[in-house]
Structure 1
Amino acid sequence: MSLTHFSLFSGIGGIDLAAEAAGFTSVCQCEWAAFPAAVLASHWPEVPRFQDITTVTKEAFFEKTGLRTVTLISGGFPCQPFSTAGRQRGFHDERYLWPEMLRVIRELQPRWVLGENVAGFLRMGLDKTLIDLEQAGYDVRVFVLPAAAVGAWHERKRVFIIGSSANTSCQRHRGCGQGAEHPNLCERQLPQDEQGWQGVDGAAFPCGLPHDTYHAGKALPQPGLGRVADGFPAQMDGHSLWAEEPADIPRLTEDVPNRSKRMKTLGNAVSPPQVFPILKYIADIETGRCPMGGEEP
């Protein structure tokens, strides 16, 4: 089956890279800033894109892509209203664009939604976002996942909000009348550890994230548990990518063209290995390859 992906607030395409490695095809993007948009155009020259999210409508999306909906809509909606580096004006900040992302979700009604934001979002905007998605017809799960959980030498803690359509049931139950109506048959408890990656309130992820340490190390690796499970693309294997800290890291970045713009876009970007495991699970659910196999607990 075809897995399609529409990224909002695309930045330089961190989520797009992870989504494509997981098996999705990026069919459209949306990015306001000129420099990251140029990066997107360089790496995805054939993918149509919007500049302004307020212009994204169901009709405009169909005109650009010929599609009525997609499997997944993702978006790292602007973090500035909630970031500790700013004034934390929250809902009163003109850059608070979650309502626009929600509008696009309501219009296109994807099977899955992935939102990303900074850790400060947990205490400033999460509740409203969860209520909005639930009212839009999505079952919602939240993960706090730092880059350190997939092998990085820095924390970079991020909040990932995953919404699955209430009509989406686990593929292992297709045709048997179970799934979304019997969630206890198809959920695994998220592991929690001192490293800080966990499900908020012990939330479970349909048909996916494992409850025991062995499988947690194979799927969402914790520091010290070794490399990612076999089958993960090399470019998404965080433990291999960040296996050791180089000895010759310069104190300052090189003076290259567009240095400040590059630094800003990297700072705003989602690290692909950090979000890849979540997208891989979504792809596995959609294609019937539930990661824990077909056995019931």
Structure 2
Amino acid sequence: MTAYYNEIDPFAAQWLRNLIAAGHIAPGVVDERSIEDVTPDDLREFTQCHFFAGIGVWSLALRRAGWPDDKPVWTGSCPCQPFSSAGKGDGFADERHLWPAFFHLISECKPGIIFGEQVASKDGLGWLDLVQADLEAKDYSTAAVDLCAAGFGAPHIRQRLFWVGNANNQRIQRQRKYQSIIHQEGRESERRHAVPTDVAAHVWDGWQAVTGADKNSRMLPPDFGERTDDAAGRVGKLRAYGNAIVAPVAEEFIRAYMLITEE
């Protein structure tokens, strides 16, 4: 079976092709068109569809969670800039608010399971309200959890809303049970990714805080500049990393879903 990756950024799209060729993510094709230009018929032949695919972390997380490449699923981390506290705050009026385009494809294709993620800001919660209302109007059950990367072994916070929609109307909206399981998975993930205390104390040694064009500060490893041949490559990597979800968090979110629904 073949996966579909929709990613408008050329740098990230080529990165996806490289990852596919290396076998790191599910085999498939990369489509660089805007999601607004994608039609339902374009997607009929694909088992897995990843929108706003970035550098393929949803596919990686699915594999790590034990989700086979030939098992149907959709994923989509809609652009966070319209709803981020670091952005202009245009919200639903921002041209990058692409949930309507994503939802149109969902409505027409009716995928059984959809995983997604969004920034955990006040505006992000408003966005999630819309997403859940739209999905539930189409007879999806939904659930969402506010998670941070630090709770899953990462040395940074990165607070995000992770959500799931199930077309079989399973009772995944039992939020307390879902949150309990996912936080248990988070503790196990933290143990799996744990490092000795003496090592952890020096985890940021040599790293530099670099402020990007979006005014956000990010920690970069000391050899980051040596990993690319030119400035364009460094900018592309910064953008791709900055837009990516954190794999261990997505992995455990998927695991929790699989435990609850016995997928």
TM-score (norm 1): 0.63
- Of 29, 46, 56 in structure 1, the residue corresponding to residue 5 of structure 2 is 29
Aligned partner letter, 1:60: D
CA RMSD of superposed structures (Å): 3.2
1:249 corresponds in structure 2 to 206
- Of 16, 21, 25 in structure 2, the residue corresponding to residue 40 of structure 1 is 16
Distance in 1, Cα, partners of 2:190 & 2:75: 29
Aligned partner letter, 1:113: I
The verdict on how the C-alpha distance between 1:240 and 1:37 changes in structure 2, with shifts beyond 3 A counting, is farther
TM-score (norm 2): 0.70
Is residue 2:235 matched to residue 1:265?
no
Could you report, residue by residue, the CA deviation over 1:132-171 in whole angstroms, capped at 9, with x for unpaired residues?
1111211111100000110122110001121112x254xx
Aligned partner letter, 1:131: A
Is residue 2:194 matched to residue 1:239?
yes
Aligned partner letter, 1:248: D
Distance in 2, Cα, partners of 1:66 & 1:145: 28
8 Å CA contact 2:146, 2:159 repeated in 1:
yes
Deviation (angstroms), 1:241: 11
Is residue 2:117 matched to residue 1:119?
no
Distance in 2, Cα, partners of 1:145 & 1:239: 18
Q: Which runs of 5+ in 2 are unaligned?
A: 22-26, 50-69, 210-219
User: Which SS does the other structure have where 1:239 is aligned?
Assistant: coil
2:59 corresponds in structure 1 to none
1:108 corresponds in structure 2 to 109
Q: Which runs of 5+ in 1 are unaligned?
A: 1-24, 170-179, 191-203, 228-236, 290-297
8 Å CA contact 2:136, 2:142 repeated in 1:
yes
User: Which SS does the other structure have where 1:78 is aligned?
Assistant: coil
Tell me the number of residue pairs that the alignment of Structure 1 and Structure 2 aligns. 216
Distance in 1, Cα, partners of 2:169 & 2:256: 14
Aligned partner letter, 1:88: G
Deviation (angstroms), 1:240: 5.2
8 Å CA contact 2:12, 2:240 repeated in 1:
yes
Distance in 2, Cα, partners of 1:145 & 1:124: 17
1:155 corresponds in structure 2 to 157
Deviation (angstroms), 1:280: 1.9
8 Å CA contact 1:82, 1:89 repeated in 2:
yes
User: Which SS does the other structure have where 2:165 is aligned?
Assistant: strand
Matches for 1:193-212 after TM superposition, within 5 Å? 204-205=177-178, 210=180
Distance in 2, Cα, partners of 1:248 & 1:126: 37
The verdict on how the C-alpha distance between 1:26 and 1:86 changes in structure 2, with shifts beyond 3 A counting, is farther
Distance in 2, Cα, partners of 1:131 & 1:77: 16
Could you report, residue by residue, the CA deviation over 1:172-206 in whole angstroms, capped at 9, with x for unpaired residues?
xxxxxxxx5xx89xx5x53xxxxxxxxxxxxx43x
Matches for 1:16-165 after TM superposition, within 5 Å? 27-45=3-21, 46-51=27-32, 52-62=34-44, 65=46, 71-120=72-121, 121-165=123-167
Answer 1 or 2: which has greater helix percent: 2
Distance in 2, Cα, partners of 1:123 & 1:26: 33
Distance in 1, Cα, partners of 2:16 & 2:162: 22
Could you report, residue by residue, the CA deviation over 1:233-270 in whole angstroms, capped at 9, with x for unpaired residues?
xxxx4435997242633326432421121111111100
Distance in 1, Cα, partners of 2:158 & 2:96: 22
Aligned partner letter, 2:30: R
The verdict on how the C-alpha distance between 1:66 and 1:124 changes in structure 2, with shifts beyond 3 A counting, is closer
Is residue 2:249 matched to residue 1:274?
yes
The verdict on how the C-alpha distance between 1:32 and 1:240 changes in structure 2, with shifts beyond 3 A counting, is farther
Distance in 2, Cα, partners of 1:161 & 1:67: 17
User: Which SS does the other structure have where 2:81 is aligned?
Assistant: coil
8 Å CA contact 2:2, 2:29 repeated in 1:
no
Distance in 2, Cα, partners of 1:40 & 1:119: 26
Of the structure 1 ranges 25-34 and 240-249, higher mean CA displacement relative to structure 2 is found in: 240-249
